[in-house]
Amino acid sequence: MKIAILGGDGFCGWPTALHLSEQGHEIHIIDNLSRRWIDTELGVQSLTPMDSIQERCRIWHQETGRSLRFHLLDLAKDYERLRQWLAEERPDAIVHFAEQRAAPYSMKSDRHKVYTVNNNVSATHNLLTAMVETGIDAHLVHLGTMGVYGYSSVGAPIPEGYLDVKIDTPEGEKDQEILYPTRPGSVYHMTKSLDQILFQFYAQNDGLRITDLHQGIVWGTHTEQTRRHPQLVNRFDYDGDYGTVLNRFLIQAAIGYPLTVHGTGGQTRAFIHIQDTVRCIELALGEPPAAGDRVRIFNQMTETHRVRDLAEMVAGLTGATVAYLPNPRKEAPENDLIVRNDQFLALGLDPITLRDGLLNEVVEVARKFAHRIDRSRVPAVSAWTKDIAGRVETDP
Ligand code: NAD
Ligand code: USQ
């Protein structure tokens, strides 16, 4: 297949591009490199040294003989170029990673809220309308988030996107299927909730074939392909805005920084290893919905963990200490989480779990590049409200 990877320079997009290229697909990476600019804005860098996207593509070609084509394009701002590109290249499938994905960054200031909404909602809507306008019949696979469901405890497993409800009508009780109600916990997560409505409309109105992957928190660094050459290494965010919780704990352990648990650490979240992310995308691409079908929604996660249990696990593995800090976020201090992921398991996903020993591998990566860590960028300082901002500790 000819596959466009939108956001293919990012943490999930790069290893996905390599994985699908290795399988023989023709890969086109589209990215505006905004994530690299945000590193500059925040004064941080990936833990792992990242070459330019052009250099990464050159090394992949050198190592495998396979080509990756890179196109510098802003999905949110260059609508005409996007439409023209789709009309000319007519990809068979499009994998859409190209959004501002950090919840803390989206809550940093009013400007960051505005940027996140404008970027994410426009990118997704521009893509959908350009697909309709050009008449291409590509299968769109979007990376959504588990966070659209919210993390309040409902005591029942979260289904894969849809909920069966009973509605009272004058003719009696009727069954109806609805999108699972969203309860986003940040402006970023809110944009993913808005994406869901855009997808529902374009699938129903124009017959677009869409799969939305509600992904949990991704951990790890390497996939089979990124290990093949030091310059193919994946990015690894550790700072207070972009670093996700488990990867942050691992680098904190590597530099002797107390593990930064927010609040009681009673927050339960869904997780998936980066190797399983790329495998899930491959599986989803192999199961396109038919035109006229509802949006297909998968829960893309493999296990759930409580934040404080993760901290204790990392402390046990490395000897790190744990710091319980005032929470900069507005979120439930404790929640249970039971998630259905039957669809990927039925398609043959064999999940990698924290128990598989890969944690050690990430600790090794963290230790290897520990000299690149700026300790002053470790604290999470983006507060969800002005009240909370006054209570956030910056150094445990
Ligand atoms: P990332 O920030 O590393 O990568 C996103 C890429 O998209 C970047 O290279 C960025 O430059 C590009 N991009 C952003 N806006 C763009 C635009 N307007 N035009 C063109 N390119 C643009 O993020 P990631 O961790 O790889 O996440 C990818 C997707 O997966 C996101 O949509 C995110 O919401 C979702 N997701 C990520 C995680 C996670 O833990 N990393 C978990 C669940 C879901
Ligand atoms: N947390 C800590 N200490 C830290 C960092 C985070 O206790 O140092 C806590 C947070 O308060 C939160 C939980 O860990 O309760 C998860 O935070 P996170 O930053 O790892 O994850 P989140 O903000 O939810 O966002 C990440 C990705 C996002 C994706 C989402 C999937 O950045 O793109 O959509 O995970 S999910 O969480 O399932 O919605």
For the chain, domain boundaries: 2-232+273-303+337-353
Q: Is 302 among the catalytic positions?
A: no
Among 41, 72, 94, 99, residue to substitute to test ligand 1 (most atoms within 8 Å of Cβ)? 99
> How much is the pLDDT for 361?
77
CA distances from 368 to 49, 250, 361, 375, 377 (A): 11, 12, 11, 16, 18
> How much is the pLDDT for 94?
98
* ipTM given for this complex: 0.99
| CATH of the domain spanning 2-232+273-303+337-353 | 3.40.50.720
Polymer length in residues for the chain: 396
Handedness of CA 286, 291, 293, 297 (dihedral sign): positive
> How much is the pLDDT for 390?
78
> How much is the pLDDT for 128?
98
**Quick one: which H or E segment has residue 56?**
helix 53-64
User: Ligand 2 centroid to 188 CA: how many Å?
Assistant: 11
Q: Is 245 near ligand 2, meaning CB less than 6 Å away?
A: yes
Neighbours of 245 (CB within 10 A): 22
- CA 11 to chain CA centroid, Å, is 8
**Quick one: which H or E segment has residue 343?**
helix 342-346
Token representation of residue 385: 């409200």
The whole-angstrom separation of Cα 334 and Cα 91 is 44
With a CB cutoff of 8 Å and minimum separation 6, the contacts of 84 are none
Q: State which ligand 2 atom lies nearest to the alpha carbon of 216.
A: 38
User: Ligand 1 centroid to 10 CA: how many Å?
Assistant: 6
> How much is the pLDDT for 333?
94
Report helix, strand or coil for 182: coil
Q: Is 146 near ligand 2, meaning CB less than 6 Å away?
A: yes
Nearest CA owner, ligand 2 atom 34 = 145
Q: Is 300 near ligand 1, meaning CB less than 6 Å away?
A: no
The whole-model pTM stands at: 0.97
The residue annotated as part of the active site, out of 48, 124, 134, 145, is 145
> How much is the pLDDT for 396?
59
CA distances from 360 to 309, 316, 363, 388 (A): 17, 12, 5, 35
> How much is the pLDDT for 391?
75
User: Tens-of-pLDDT digits for all 396 residues of the chain?
Assistant: 999 999 999 999 999 999 999 999 999 999 999 999 999 999 999 999 999 999 999 999 999 999 999 999 999 999 999 999 999 999 999 999 999 999 999 999 999 999 999 999 999 999 999 999 999 999 999 999 999 999 866 678 999 999 999 999 999 999 999 999 999 999 999 999 999 999 999 999 999 999 999 999 999 999 999 999 999 999 999 999 999 999 999 999 999 999 999 999 999 999 999 999 999 999 999 999 999 999 999 999 999 999 999 999 999 989 999 999 999 999 999 999 999 999 999 999 999 998 877 777 788 899 999 999 999 999 999 999 998 987 776 655
With a CB cutoff of 8 Å and minimum separation 6, the contacts of 207 are 291, 292
Report helix, strand or coil for 136: coil
Alpha helices in 217-319 (DSSP H): 245-254, 274-285, 307-318
The residue annotated as part of the active site, out of 108, 116, 192, 260, is 192
The whole-angstrom separation of Cα 238 and Cα 246 is 10
> How much is the pLDDT for 393?
65
Q: Is 380 near ligand 2, meaning CB less than 6 Å away?
A: yes
Token representation of residue 153: 């405890």
The residue annotated as part of the active site, out of 188, 202, 238, 242, is 188
The whole-angstrom separation of Cα 390 and Cα 340 is 38
The whole-angstrom separation of Cα 38 and Cα 43 is 8
Q: State which ligand 1 atom lies nearest to the alpha carbon of 218.
A: 40
